[in-house]
């Protein structure tokens, strides 16, 4: 038996005691790492779970939910959760707000039903959802540019990024855009596939209306213009006003104090906070009428819906919308021959939300070739909005008609129709060109006695008296028909039989 000295034994025991604390520390570290990974894994799973759920808040007491794969409807409450496959519907006098995890909001009106067909989430792309509006009205405020939101109706799909828009699915399918641009695909189910028949881009201030007749025309591969300006009736509706108010000052429906009530729904209904101090006396400041701030105008073109636009006709009406307050709308035109004109829309009413402008071969603001029209609005202070340009291309040969040999009576009548420019601001006309620094130019011309009407740039001179032998026209900066640089004018006369004189062109150069 080997003898171990006491000294060696003590050294061996000290070595074991020295390693034990390190082993304990290593074990604790491994345990901490495992717990941390477990916690983060739980949080990620929980976050993913929340991202694929939609919170529902009811304004009214008639809201029902049909969970996916079930046949019985259940009553919905504030804070109810929707997941993929669920169906939500509202009854009379009840609205609902759907809040997504990324902050986007969807509101539905009374008597509306929608289905959450798809709802997924990924860290890279955010939320992907496909929502079907079975019937009724909805309003989407897509604040976030992330995520893929697709809205489906009977014969269309709507795609948007960072926009505000509304959809109706009633007698007609209507898309209305209040911010940004929204794509609308007209679709048809062909077997197991969905086929896109036509795509439209709807801009701010525009609405797209799809009815049965338009759908049939699209199926027949006809060109159909579905886009127009937002209707005044819809813009003054209680549904529109409530949503605009909520977009500007959103109610925190998740708050336990956010009790709401609905005022008279027949007269611009709004949602009010029950905690509002309605009966408190108004202060002097509250009783003083506040000055109404008129929003700076923004001009939109709704027709044609694309530019450049090819026109195979002699006449066309440009249409558009106005956001904000406009006192007047002006169109700067350059026809295919380079003749310029500036025209303030005479039939536009200050404060109106729509405008239109007719281009016509006989007005000389539409010719074969490329015609350009720049539209802008002016407010009460004379400040102009951003300009919008529309190009209309008329193919060569569009205006050609079969020439008929005039009768001798017409020839004799035409030979007697004469019109000319006599003077500019009292100075004799030498070469149909006049240069000036004045803000006002008076143009005087002569006309044979058988001329009954005189037109300048396609517009009749209402002050001209038939048979007077003289016509007069004013170019003024305040009329928007006299600008710095060259200003082009064309004048012609017509007799009672409709015979037209030769056109006289003249130029005024404003320095």
Q: 427 and 505 share a domain?
A: yes
pLDDT tens readout for residues 124-160: 778 888 999 999 999 998 876 677 788 889 999 998 7
Residue 266 reports pLDDT greater than 50? no
What CATH number should be reported for the domain holding residue 111?
2.60.120.1440
177 and 195 share one domain: yes
Give the tokens for residue 344: 């303030």
Mean pLDDT for 57-82 is 89
Q: Domain of 350?
A: 298-394
Let me know whether 93 and 35 are in one domain: no
The verdict on 87 and 172 lying in the same domain is yes
- How many separate domains does the chain show? 4
47 with 57, same domain: the answer is: no
Which one of 155-159, 283-287, 402-406 scores highest in mean pLDDT? 155-159
What is the distance between the alpha carbons of residues 254 and 257, in angstroms, rounded to a whole number? 9
Secondary structure tally for the chain: helices H, strands E: 6, 36
Assess if residue 284 is contained within a domain: no
pLDDT band at 209; cut points 50, 70, 90: very high
User: Same domain, yes or no, for 65 and 21?
Assistant: no
CATH code for position 422: 2.60.40.10
Instruction: Answer yes or no: do 182 and 79 share one domain.
Output: yes
Q: State whether 72 and 30 are in the same domain.
A: no
- From 217, 239, 261, the end of a domain falls on 239
Q: Is the pLDDT of residue 262 over 60?
A: no
pTM of the predicted structure, to 2 decimals:
0.49
Question: Shortest CA distance to 443 belongs to which of 418, 471, 477, 482?
Answer: 471
Secondary structure of 266-305 in the HEC alphabet? CCCCCEEECCCCCCCCCCHHHHCCCCCCCCCCEEEEEECC
DSSP state of 84: T
Name the residue with higher pLDDT: 359 or 19.
Answer: 359
Tally Cβ neighbours within 10 Å of residue 201: 15
What was the pLDDT predicted at 260? 46
Q: What is the pLDDT of residue 9?
A: 47
Check whether residue 202 and residue 166 sit in a common domain: yes
Of 341, 363, 394, the residue that ends a domain is: 394
pLDDT exceeds cutoff 50 at 379: yes
C-alpha to C-alpha distance for 41 and 59, rounded to whole angstroms: 37
- Please tell me the distance from the alpha carbon of residue 242 to that of residue 109, in angstroms, as a whole number: 10
Same domain, 43 and 69: no
- 310 with 366, same domain: the answer is yes
- Residue 369 maps to which CATH number? 2.60.40.2550
21-30, 78-87, 296-305, 447-456: lowest mean pLDDT where?
21-30
Least confident of 98-102, 270-274, 343-347: 270-274
What span, in angstroms and rounded, lies between the C-alpha atoms of 504 and 339?
A: 12
Give the pLDDT mean for 306-328: 88
Clarify whether residues 118 and 213 are in a common domain: yes
The pLDDT value recorded for residue 279 is: 44
Average pLDDT of the segment spanning 110-119: 92
User: In this predicted model, what pLDDT tens digit does every residue of 490-510 receive, in sequence order?
Assistant: 999 998 888 888 889 999 999
At residue 460, the pLDDT reads 86
């Amino acid at each position: 038996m080997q003898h171990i000295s006491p000294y060696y034994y003590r050294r061996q025991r000290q070595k074991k005691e020295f390693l034990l604390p390190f082993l304990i520390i290593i074990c604790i570290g491994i345990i901490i790492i495992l717990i941390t990974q477990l916690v983060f894994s739980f949080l990620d799973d929980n976050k993913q779970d929340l991202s694929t759920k939609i919170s529902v808040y009811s304004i009214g007491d008639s809201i029902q939910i049909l969970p996916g794969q079930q046949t019985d409807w259940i009553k919905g409450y504030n804070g109810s959760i929707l997941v993929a496959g669920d169906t939500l519907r509202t009854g009379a006098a009840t609205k609902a707000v759907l809040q997504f995890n990324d902050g986007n909001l969807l509101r539905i009106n009374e008597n509306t039903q929608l289905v959450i067909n798809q709802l997924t989430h990924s860290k890279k792309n955010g939320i992907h959802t496909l929502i079907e509006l079975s019937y009724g009205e909805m309003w989407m405020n897509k604040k976030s540019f992330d995520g893929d939101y697709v809205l489906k109706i009977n014969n269309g799909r709507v795609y948007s990024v960072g926009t505000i828009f509304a959809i109706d699915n009633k007698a007609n399918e209507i898309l209305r855009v209040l911010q940004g641009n929204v794509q609308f695909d007209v679709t048809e189910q062909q077997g197991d596939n969905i086929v896109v028949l036509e795509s439209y881009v709807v801009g701010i201030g525009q609405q797209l209306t799809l009815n049965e007749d338009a759908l049939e025309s699209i199926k027949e591969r006809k060109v159909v213009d579905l886009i127009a300006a937002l209707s005044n009736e819809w813009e003054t509706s209680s549904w529109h006003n409530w949503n605009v108010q909520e977009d500007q000052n959103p109610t925190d429906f998740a708050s336990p104090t956010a009790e709401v009530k609905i005022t008279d729904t027949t007269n611009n209904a709004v949602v009010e906070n029950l905690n509002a101090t309605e009966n408190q006396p108004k202060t002097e400041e509250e009783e003083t009428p506040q000055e109404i701030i008129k929003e700076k105008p923004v001009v939109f073109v709704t027709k044609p819906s694309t530019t450049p636009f090819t026109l195979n006709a002699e006449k066309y009406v440009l249409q558009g919308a106005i956001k904000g307050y406009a006192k007047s709308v002006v169109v700067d035109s350059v026809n295919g021959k380079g003749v310029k004109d500036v025209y303030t829309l005479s039939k536009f009413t200050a404060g109106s939300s729509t405008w239109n402008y007719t281009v016509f071969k006989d007005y000389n603001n539409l010719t074969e070739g490329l015609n350009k029209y720049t539209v802008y609005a002016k407010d009460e202070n004379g400040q102009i909005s951003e300009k919008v340009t529309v190009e209309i291309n008329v193919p060569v040969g569009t205006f050609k008609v079969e020439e008929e040999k005039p009768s001798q009576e017409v020839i004799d009548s035409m030979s007697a129709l004469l019109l000319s420019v006599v003077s500019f601001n009292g100075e004799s006309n030498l070469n149909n060109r006049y240069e000036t620094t004045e803000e006002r130019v008076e143009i005087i011309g002569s006309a044979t006695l058988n001329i009954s009407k005189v037109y300048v740039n396609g517009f009749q001179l209402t002050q001209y008296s038939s048979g007077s032998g003289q016509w007069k026209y004013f170019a003024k900066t305040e009329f928007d028909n006299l600008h710095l640089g060259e200003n082009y004018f064309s004048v012609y006369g017509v007799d009672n039989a409709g015979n037209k004189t030769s056109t006289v062109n003249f130029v005024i150069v404003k320095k």
